[in-house]
Amino acid sequence: MDLGQDRPQVAAEARNLSPIVPRASIAGRALVAVVAIMTFLASITTGAVLLVSASAAEWQSEVASEITVQVRPLAGRDLDRDSAAVSEAVRTQPGITGVQPYTKEESAKLLEPWLGSGLSLDDLPVPRVIIARVSPGSPLDLVQLRSRVAAITPSASVDDHRAWIERMRSMTGATTFSGLAILALVIAATIISVSFATRGAMAANRPIVEVLHFVGAGDRYIANRFFRHFLRLGLEGGIIGGGAAMLVFGFSESIANWFSGTPVGDQFAALLGTFALRPTGYLILAVQAGLIAAITAWASRRTLLATLDDIE
Amino acid sequence: MVRFENVGLRYGLGPEILRDLSFEIPAHSFQFLTGPSGAGKTSLLRLLFLSMRPTRGLVNLFDRDVSLLSKDEIADMRKRIGIVLQDFRLLDHMTTYENVALPFRVIGRDESSYRKEVIDLLKWVGLGERMDALPPVLSGGEKQRAAIARAVISRPLLLLADEPTGNVDPTLGRRLLLLFVELNRSGTAVIIATHDIALMDQYDARRLVLHQGRLHIYE
């Protein structure tokens, strides 16, 4: 365009341009709070599942590395002699690394919490227990061991704790399943919240979207202007929520120590160990927080493009 | 450049407000679009700007049938069209300078590459002192000039203006008309919708007159 003599000669200076979509026009704080809370809940759930799984795995490996042989008293048989013979048979079985037979006194000690002290066990049919440690890696022929033990006395039985391990497995599976279900709910709630927030932001900024359409901006360009805000909000929420959850797990060991010695503290310690998350656990929580931020960004982008389709 | 064949437009189930429009807008041409209030001038401009689709008929723009265009293709086509609307549509959180520079920003040009061009144009439309002001503090006339500057800054192939001198005094109105004429001389086809007879009398150009939904052309 020729502006002739009216063309002004001005010094051009660099300018700081305002963002096309102003940050203040998006209800950011509420969305950051929602994403932070959701990330926190998801992280606590995942952390708890990791703790339970780790403790259960520890229990399982401990229980699986032992077998228990029970010798029940039978009329007309010498229980001490049967126990000693069974112990010897177990000791010589390939795959067994050690045997610990419980004496009458030790068995009485085991029953003391239920029956009290100073009680004579002579009149009670209390079985003898023999604990045998299984060598890890070498297969133990349980069928052969059972037949050898049965040959010594018909009142002996071998327990490889399979029922216990199965129960433990189902408990761990149920915990993991519940954790995954909670995670799925948290993620669904996050997606719904983000979609609502995005629609709200789009409605508030509809005049901007229309003007951008007027000057020839495509939907992808416009979506990207909004997307940047939502990605940052998602990251902020993810960092706050994930960070808070990591702090909780970081301090949980100290908190557990305050309760040690109390019945509640001991029960928790027995179930969940020291309450301490391993480094890989923290890594998983960090990845999860990033994932929730990414889900936030994806949900907002999906809503943005769907909403832009309706604006001429 | 623009070809309408038997185009009709109705809103919902109402009567046709534009009927059997058949006309062409050649490249580099200049025309006024006029008619009484409610005759359908703004609706015709919206059809030309692709923000509405006709109820019937064929609209051909830049040798493309607009009914076959995707949303992305419409966005690309709008980069070649400038529009000035009666309600200005300036972004309140951006300065006058930023509003006028928006078409360049959208196509990804670096600010230093268009800075001088934008400042020159703002001076030309009399907004040199107001380039850092936000639209809420501009007068109606200033907003109108900013909207015109934004529409012409990228030198579109087709310029559509809806009552572009409605809020300015006669002297500035003549100056803005001169801007449109200059733009037309540099190759832009211009359509100015107005019912300002005095404005049309200042420049001898083709007149498209809308009356009762039909178009009459006076060469």
- Test the B interface: residue of A1, A16, A23, A307 with most B CBs within 10 Å: A1
Q: Rounded distance, CA A95 to CA A133, Å?
A: 9
Q: Please report, in tens digits, the pLDDT of each residue of chain B (219 residues total).
A: 899 999 999 998 888 899 999 999 999 999 999 998 888 888 999 999 998 899 999 999 999 999 999 888 998 899 999 999 888 899 999 999 999 999 999 998 999 999 999 999 999 888 999 999 999 999 888 998 999 999 999 999 999 999 888 777 888 888 888 889 988 998 899 999 998 888 898 889 999 999 988 999 988
Contacts of A224 in chain B (CB under 8 A): none
Buried b (16+ CB within 10 A) or exposed e, B38-53: ebbbbbbbbbbbbebe
| Gap between the Cα atoms of B14 and A138, Å rounded | 88
ipTM attached to this prediction: 0.86
Give A44 to chain B, closest Cα distance, Å. 41
Chain A CB contacts of B89 below 8 Å: 207, 210-211, 214
Q: Nearest CA of chain B to the CA of A14: how many Å?
A: 7
Q: How far is A301 from chain B (nearest CA, A)?
A: 17
Taking CB atoms and an 8 Å limit, are B124 and A208 in contact across chains?
A: no
Q: Who contacts A142 (Cβ-Cβ below 8 Å, separation ≥6)?
A: A67, A158, A160
User: Which of A7, A13, A15, A208 is the best substitution to test chain B (most B C-beta atoms within 10 A)?
Assistant: A15
Six-digit token string for B34:
């006029």
Distance (Å, rounded) from C-alpha B109 to C-alpha B107? 6
Size of interface A-B (CB pairs under 8 A): 100
Q: What is the pTM of this model?
A: 0.69
Nearest CA in chain A to B122: A8
Of B91, B101, B128, nearest to A208 by CB-CB distance is B91
pLDDT digits (tens, 9 = 90+) for A172-210: 888 889 888 988 898 888 888 888 888 887 788 888 888
Classify B80 as helix, strand or coil: coil
